């Protein structure tokens, strides 16, 4: 429904040193003007920057998130970071199941669901990513894949407060390629109906973001698609001009 407040979310991936925080401050200062107050803003940063990013945007409504978390609260998991640690730094969101995690770290739907619950346990909102590969799209399997990923990675207790779903076709991430608006509409409508089937009324208001090569030049047409409730932005979230240019479509 159109009463859903859109979310403009960035994912810095493995990019950003302390010097990049000035870019974040520019985004936080300019976001409300750019979006006309119509959308919420979030940037997910590398773990090394969470604490400083939170301090950089203090006093604004800008939210900071992490890009992944471990399933456990604490323990013998060298190099991993728990949702509690992320919340302890003042972040409020965590991305789980990004395709780069699924591919590079072998994360399956069950793990992604556990990570979403770990985020909730710490009071974070989980951004659960789903999306088909190029081969799956070519084989006509897109809607089946999305159905399976939603069933496996979105826990039954998901609602609009604790969960955001991001549809990110793997072949559109970082490639400059985007699906047609008809394909985006079909995927998002399918995800909406699966969410309503699985979650009941709560599934009506869970935000569904589109991600994959969103830029200022294509954001208006993508964000206008039915059941697209915002964007998850990789490359174009690194520069304030680009991020605010996307926010300006609201």
Active site residues: 98, 168
Q: How many CA atoms lie within 13 A of 94 on its CB side?
A: 31
- Residue placing its CB nearer to ligand PEP in the complex, 203 or 211: 211
Applying CB under 6 A, which part among 30-38, 119-127, 131-139, 212-220 lies near ligand PEP?
A: 212-220
Q: Does position 211 bind ligand PEP by CB under 6 A?
A: yes
> Does the annotation list 174 as a binding residue?
yes
**CA distances in angstroms from 221 to 181, 201, 231, listed in the order given:** 7, 28, 12
Q: Find the binder of ligand PEP among 232, 246, 248, 249 (CB under 6 A).
A: 232
Contact pick of 214, 223, 228, 248 for ligand PEP (by CB under 6 A): 214
Q: Which of 212, 223, 228, 244 binds ligand PEP (CB under 6 A)?
A: 212
Query: Using CB under 6 A, which of 111, 149, 213, 227 touches ligand PEP?
Result: 213
In the complex, the residues that contact ligand PEP under the rule CB under 6 A are: 11, 168, 173-174, 211-214, 232-236
């Amino acid at each position: 429904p159109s009463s859903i407040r859109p979310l403009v979310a960035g994912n810095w991936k493995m990019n950003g040193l302390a010097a990049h925080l000035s870019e974040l401050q520019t985004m936080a200062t300019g976001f409300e003007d750019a979006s006309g107050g119509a959308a919420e803003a979030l940037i997910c940063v590398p773990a090394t920057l969470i604490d400083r990013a939170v301090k950089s945007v203090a006093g604004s409504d800008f939210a900071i998130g992490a890009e992944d978390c471990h399933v456990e609260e604490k323990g013998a998991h060298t190099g991993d970071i728990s949702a509690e640690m992320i919340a302890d730094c003042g972040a409020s969101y965590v991305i789980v199941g990004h395709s780069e995690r699924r591919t590079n770290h072998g994360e399956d739907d069950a793990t992604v669901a556990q990570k979403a619950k770990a985020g909730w346990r710490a009071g974070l909102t989980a951004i659960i990513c789903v999306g088909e590969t190029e081969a799956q799209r070519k084989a006509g399997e897109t809607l089946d894949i999305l159905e399976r990923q939603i069933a496996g990675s979105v826990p039954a207790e998901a609602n609009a407060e604790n969960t955001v779903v991001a549809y990110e076709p793997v072949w559109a991430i970082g490639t400059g390629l985007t699906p047609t608006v008809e394909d985006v509409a079909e995927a998002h409508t399918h995800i909406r109906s699966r969410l309503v089937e699985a979650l009941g009324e709560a599934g009506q208001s869970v935000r569904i973001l589109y991600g994959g090569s969103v830029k200022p030049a294509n954001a208006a047409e993508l964000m206008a698609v039915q059941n697209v409730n915002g964007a998850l932005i990789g490359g174009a979230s690194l520069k304030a001009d680009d991020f605010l240019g996307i926010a300006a479509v609201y």
